[in-house]
Every structure is written in structure tokens, then in C-alpha cells.
């Protein structure tokens, strides 16, 4: 059975590099990227419950400090 890893933020700088390393280093794994917005709590809970992940690597973030301060509730 493959190791099931949920990766958030896989399109970001660090996420892209981590995704490539995981693909190179861990054979037989299933990399699941989140298809929903992380602010949708119900969708996140449903996704995690349905997929039964072995691990979650949470890299999703607001990368701009200025934007994060301006949109504090969203960050």
C-alpha cells in the first residue's frame, strides 16, 4: 500500500521543490494535493476524511508580508 501524503501549497516555491524531491525519493507514494480552498473548513474536513492520508505537509501560506498584514483575516 502506498504512503498517502497530502500536500498543501504545492504550487508555491517550496512546495514545488518538495513535490519534486518526494517524487524522486519516495517510491510507491500517492501525493494528494488539495483541490479545495483551505478556508472552506467543511471541504477540508471531508477531503481529509475521505482520502485517509498518512501524512500532511502543510505549506500553503500568504507569501507577501505586506499582504498578510493588510488581509490579516485571510492570512
Position 17 scores a pLDDT of 92
Identify the CA nearest to 7 among candidates 52, 75, 49, 15: 15
What backbone phi and psi angles, to 5 degrees, belong to 21? -65, -40
Tens-place pLDDT, residues 21-70:
988 888 777 776 766 677 778 888 888 888 888 888 888 877 788 887 88
Residue 9: its pLDDT value, please? 83
Contacts of 36 (CB under 8 A, 6+ apart): 43, 44, 47
Amino acid at each position: 500500500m502506498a504512503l498517502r501524503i497530502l500536500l498543501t501549497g504545492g504550487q508555491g516555491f517550496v512546495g514545488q521543490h518538495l513535490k519534486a524531491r518526494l517524487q524522486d525519493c519516495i517510491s510507491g507514494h500517492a501525493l494528494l494535493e488539495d483541490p479545495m480552498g483551505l478556508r472552506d473548513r467543511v471541504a477540508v474536513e471531508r477531503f481529509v476524511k475521505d482520502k485517509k492520508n498518512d501524512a500532511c505537509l502543510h505549506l500553503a501560506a500568504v507569501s507577501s508580508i505586506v499582504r498578510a498584514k493588510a488581509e490579516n483575516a485571510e492570512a
